[in-house]
Amino acid sequence: MTITWTSGYNINESTPLVKWGPKGKKLVQSPAVTLTFGRYSVCGSPASTVGWRDPGFIHTSFLKNLWPNLKYTYRLGHLLPDGSYIWSKLYSFKSSPYPGQSSLQRVIMFGDMGKAERDGSNEYSNYQPGSLNTTDQLVKDLENIDIVFHIGDITYANGYLSQWDQFTAQVEPIASRVPYMTASGNHERDWPNTGSFYDTMDSGGECGVLAQTMFYVPAENRAKFWYATDYGMFRFCIADSEHDFREGSEQYKFIEHCLATVDRQKQPWLIFAAHRVLGYSSDYFYAQKGSFEEPMGRESLQKLWQKYKVDIAFYGHVHNYERSCPIYQSQCVNSERSHYSGTVEGTIHVVVGGGGSHLSKFSDVAPTWSLYRDYDYGFVKLTAFDHSSLLFEYKKSSDGKVYDSFTISRDYKDVLACVHDGCEPTTSAN
Ligand SMILES: [Fe+2]
């Protein structure tokens, strides 16, 4: 488990540490590392000018050798030069199941949440009106949540750095209890002439520095925000849509490696996620382009989703909710709507970008592959009961109730079964 917090202490002013252990047992101390960055690290204005604020110091501690599925308690601390300690309040978390291990496993997925003000003093244009509702529903249901994925457009600080602290304070009740995993979006990364795949100014000059330092993800290189992570029966392959993902790119190789290296007998639930819609969306913006996707999105990636039999692909970026049929090359490959069983014939694509930022309209006509569309704020909850049974629920942020759902029931042999463009070779030799 990785614990991250910020303080005003540099390494010569205090030694950061975490005191932790299984609930009710002896606590041990683990060291924490310290990172920061200066104004020279960000790429442009407002991040480097009127939006700049000294970020302080970002501390991260890696708690190792955890017993699976056990409740732990912890405190953040600093050892001061005079020998005294200062401690945070007591927090707790439940450790992750070992990859492949069966237990009740519940995953939250959404994008584009941002932050808002509880005192009603709104940022100009009230840009993320659904944000507090989403946060509050997750906090309310936290006993029944094991891990959270916020797939890009995290804070919408857009170069006003203090807004990262506003955001982390808002999600602290969640992020201090369960793993809060992130993906990189245009509002984290994009800035002209800095290597982002899109040449927009959406990060307000942050060019990824804030996201890559404030949030730990198990990427080989956090400046390239793609990573694989396991949670019990789930394998997550998290892409970075702000870097090149086309065939032949470094990221494409990573995605194939992530999908190919999962043992589906142990981890049957294979999830792909990216910020921009690399699969299917009938959002007005994508429909207008005629592609129903981010240009160049699925052309090369759909081969991988099909070959490695990805169950569900999640996206944000457009601020609404939409679920597709199991689909391959724009064709539904299964006519079921609410219960899927047996062979995985295609990937279900889900846009869950209604975390909080102002809503985005759909095209007037829904394509046949679009099974459910909702112009509202919400998030998705996945519940894996065991290796054969998965429940998908879409909940609105306003009331926390389920508005769309489906189940998947299948066994290992169904994952191995031959499907169109996804067959393992056989030989006639015997
Ligand atoms: Fe976005």
Give the Å distance between the CA of 395 and the centre of ligand 1: 21
pLDDT at 430: 80
Q: How far does residue 134's CA lie from ligand 1's centre (Å)?
A: 17
Give buried/exposed letters for 198-233 (b at 16+ CB in 10 A, else e).
beebbbbbbbbbbbbbbbbbebeebebbbbbbbbbb
Give the distance (Å) from ligand 1 centre to CA of residue 329: 24
Report yes or no: 122 and 116 within 8 Å, Cβ to Cβ. yes
Q: What is the pLDDT of residue 125?
A: 72
For ligand 1, the distance from its centroid to the CA atom of residue 352, given in whole angstroms, is: 12
Tell me which DSSP letter residue 101 carries: -
Whole-number Å distance, alpha carbon 428 to ligand 1 midpoint, is 50
For the chain, residues classed under CATH 2.60.40.10 are 1-95
Of the candidates 8, 5, 31, the residue with the CA atom closest to the CA atom of residue 18: 31
- CA distance linking residue 131 with residue 138, whole number of Å: 11
Residues 6+ apart with CB under 8 A from 375: 320, 359, 361, 362
Q: Which fold would CATH assign to domain 100-416?
A: Purple Acid Phosphatase; chain A, domain 2 (3.60.21)
Find all residues with CB under 8 Å of 425, minimum gap 6, and list them. none
State the Cα torsion 199-203-207-208 to the nearest 10°: -120
The domain defined by 1-95 carries CATH number 3.30.460.80: no
pLDDT in tens, 290-316: 889 999 999 989 999 999 999 999 999
How far is the centre of ligand 1, averaged over its atoms, from the C-alpha of 154 (Å)?
9
Q: How far is the CA of 187 from the centre of ligand 1 (A)?
A: 6
CATH 3.60.21.10 in the chain, residues?
A: 100-416
Q: Which residue, 310, 316, 340, 308, is CA-closest to 410?
A: 340
Threshold 0.95, pTM exceeds? yes
Q: What are the two backbone dihedrals, phi and then psi, of residue 48, each rounded to the nearest 5 degrees?
A: -95, -5
Cα 332 to ligand 1 centroid, rounded to whole Å: 27
Instruction: Supply the pLDDT for residue 342.
Output: 92
**What spacing in Å lies between the alpha carbon of 420 and ligand 1's midpoint?**
33
Ligand 1 center from residue 241 Cα (angstroms)? 10
Distance 273 CA to ligand 1 centre (A): 13
The residues of the chain scoring below 70 in pLDDT are: none
Q: CA of 11: how far to CAs of 8, 15, 94, 229, in Å? A: 10, 6, 29, 30
Virtual torsion, Cα 328, 331, 336, 337, nearest 10 deg:
90
Ligand 1 centroid to residue 14 C-alpha, Å: 38
pLDDT at residue number 120? 81
Distance from the alpha carbon of residue 197 to the mean position of ligand 1, in angstroms: 13
| Cβ–Cβ under 8 Å, residues 235 and 258 | yes
Taking the C-alpha atoms of residue 425 and residue 345, their distance in angstroms, rounded to an integer, is: 17
pLDDT for 126 = 80
Smallest Cα–Cα separation from 267: which of 256, 275, 255, 259?
A: 259
Distance 200 CA to ligand 1 centre (A): 11
Distance in Å, CA 62 to ligand 1 centroid: 30
**Quick one: which of 223, 194, 242, 201 has its CA closest to 45?**
201
The structure tokens 């389920």 sit at 402
Residue 392 CA to residue 402 CA, distance in Å, equals 10
Dist CA 305 CA 190 (whole Å): 26
pLDDT value at position 149?
98
CB distance 179 to 148 below 8 Å: yes
The Å distance, Cα 81 to ligand 1 centre, comes to: 44
C-alpha 28 – ligand 1 centre gap (Å): 41
Distances (CA, A) of 14 to 17, 56, 76: 10, 13, 12
Centroid of ligand 1 to alpha carbon of 186 (angstroms): 5
Question: From the CA of 158, how far away is ligand 1's center (Å)?
Answer: 12
